[in-house]
C-alpha cells in the first residue's frame, strides 16, 4: 500500500553484454657497474579494452503516490560504450658506496591514459500509457498493461534524447629522489648523518565532450530503427526485454540524415563544460638527520624534514540567463601552496638488560 508513505518512482531493468581483454609486459634489469656501484632499470606497460552494450527498460508512473490510478511513461534505451586504458611505469635507480659516503638516487614515472572514443546513448519514450503496478514482492514489482494500452508498439515510442560522449583522461605521477649518507662523522662515536631531497609532480587532465541531440520535425519513431533482439526469460520472465532500437540502424540514421537531429545547446554545454578540468600538484621535500652515541649507552637520533606543496587547478564556470539558456563559459583557475615542517628527536637508553627507555 502506498498510502503509508512509500512512493514508487520507477521500475527499471537493464541487460548488458560486455567483452574485455587485457595484456601487458614488464621488465627489470639489475646492472652491477663495479665493486661498489649498481644500477637498476624497470618498466611495465598494460592495456585494457572494454566494450559493452546495454538495453534498458523503465516504467515511471506520473503519480508516484498512486501508481495504480495513473498513466505511465515507458522508456526504452540503448547504451553503447567502448573504453581503452593504457598504463605504464618506468624507473631507474643508482647506488654507490664509497669509503666515506653512500649515494642512492631514484627516478620513476607512472602514467595512465583512459580513452572513451564515442559512447552513444539513445532514449525512446512513450507517454500516457496505462499500466497497473503491484508491489507484493518489493524486489520485483509486477507490471501489467491496461486494456487498450500498447506498451510494446514501437510506433508509439519517440526519440527523446541522443547523447554522444567522447572523453580522455590523462594522469601522470613523477618522482625523483636523492639520498646521501655519511656512515661516520669524524671522531664521534658510532655517529652517522644523512641528507636527502625528493620531488613529486602529479598531474590530471580531463577532456570531455557530451553532445546532446533531440529529434527535429515530427520526431523519430522507434519503429524506424527497431532491432530484432528479444529476451523473454530475463529475471525469470518477469520483465520481457524486446522492442529495443538497433545500434547499427541508429548510427546509419545519424550519418545519412543528420538534419533529423538538433543539437541541444543548453544541455550540451551543461554536460560538457564542467567535466573539463586540469589539476596539478608539486611537492618538494628535503631532510637532514643524524645519530650519535652520548656516553656509553645513550643514543640520540635527531632530524628535520620540510615539505613544500603547490596546487593548481583550472576549470569552467557556466553562465545561464534567467530562463535557463546557455550564455557563456568562463575559464576559471585557482592556486594554493603551503609548507610543513617536521622536526624529530629520539633518545634511547638501556636501563637494565631486559628494559630499555625510549623517548621521542
pLDDT more than 90, % of the chain: 75
Residue 4 has pLDDT above 80, yes or no: no
Where does the pLDDT of residue 50 fall: very low under 50, low under 70, confident under 90, or very high at 90 and above?
very high
Residue 217 has pLDDT above 70, yes or no: yes
Read off the pLDDT of each residue in 82-91 and give the average, rounded to a whole number.
97
Where does the pLDDT of residue 1 fall: very low under 50, low under 70, confident under 90, or very high at 90 and above?
very low
Which pLDDT tens digit goes with each residue over 95-113?
999 988 999 999 999 999 9
Sign of CA dihedral 345, 350, 354, 357: negative
Where does the pLDDT of residue 80 fall: very low under 50, low under 70, confident under 90, or very high at 90 and above?
very high
Read off the pLDDT of each residue in 270-281 and give the average, rounded to a whole number.
95
More confident residue, 148 or 276: 276
So what's the pLDDT on residue 293?
86
pTM above 0.75, yes or no: yes
Which pLDDT tens digit goes with each residue over 295-326?
788 899 999 999 999 999 999 999 999 998 99
Amino acid at each position: 500500500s502506498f498510502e503509508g508513505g512509500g512512493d514508487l518512482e520507477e521500475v527499471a531493468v537493464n541487460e548488458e553484454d560486455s567483452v574485455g581483454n587485457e595484456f601487458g609486459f614488464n621488465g627489470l634489469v639489475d646492472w652491477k657497474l663495479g665493486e661498489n656501484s649498481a644500477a637498476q632499470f624497470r618498466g611495465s606497460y598494460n592495456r585494457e579494452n572494454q566494450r559493452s552494450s546495454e538495453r534498458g527498460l523503465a516504467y515511471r508512473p506520473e503519480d508516484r503516490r498512486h501508481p495504480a490510478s495513473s498513466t505511465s511513461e515507458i522508456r526504452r534505451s540503448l547504451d553503447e560504450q567502448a573504453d581503452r586504458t593504457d598504463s605504464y611505469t618506468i624507473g631507474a635507480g643508482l647506488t654507490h658506496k664509497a669509503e666515506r659516503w653512500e649515494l642512492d638516487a631514484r627516478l620513476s614515472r607512472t602514467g595512465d591514459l583512459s580513452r572513451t572514443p564515442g559512447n552513444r546513448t539513445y532514449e525512446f519514450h512513450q507517454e500516457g500509457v496505462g499500466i497497473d503496478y503491484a508491489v507484493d514482492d518489493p524486489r520485483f514489482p509486477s507490471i501489467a498493461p491496461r486494456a487498450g494500452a500498447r506498451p510494446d508498439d514501437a510506433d508509439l515510442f519517440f526519440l527523446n534524447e541522443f547523447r554522444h560522449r567522447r572523453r580522455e583522461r590523462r594522469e601522470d605521477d613523477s618522482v625523483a629522489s636523492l639520498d646521501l649518507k655519511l656512515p661516520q662523522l669524524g671522531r664521534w662515536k658510532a655517529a652517522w648523518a644523512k641528507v636527502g631531497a625528493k620531488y613529486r609532480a602529479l598531474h590530471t587532465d580531463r577532456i570531455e565532450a557530451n553532445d546532446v541531440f533531440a529529434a527535429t520535425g515530427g520526431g523519430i519513431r522507434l519503429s524506424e530503427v527497431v532491432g530484432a533482439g528479444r529476451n523473454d526469460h530475463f529475471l525469470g520472465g518477469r520483465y520481457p526485454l524486446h522492442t529495443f532500437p538497433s545500434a547499427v540502424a541508429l548510427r546509419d540514421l545519424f550519418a545519412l540524415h543528420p538534419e533529423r537531429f538538433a543539437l541541444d545547446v543548453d544541455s550540451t554545454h551543461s554536460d560538457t563544460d564542467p567535466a573539463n578540468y586540469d589539476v596539478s600538484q608539486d611537492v618538494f621535500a628535503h631532510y637532514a638527520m643524524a645519530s650519535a652515541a652520548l656516553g656509553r649507552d645513550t643514543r640520540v637520533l635527531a632530524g628535520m624534514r620540510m615539505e613544500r606543496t603547490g596546487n593548481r587547478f583550472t576549470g569552467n564556470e557556466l553562465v545561464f540567463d534567467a530562463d535557463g539558456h546557455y550564455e557563456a563559459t568562463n575559464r576559471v583557475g585557482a592556486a594554493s601552496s603551503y609548507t610543513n615542517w617536521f622536526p624529530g628527536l629520539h633518545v634511547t637508553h638501556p636501563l637494565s638488560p631486559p628494559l630499555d627507555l625510549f623517548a621521542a
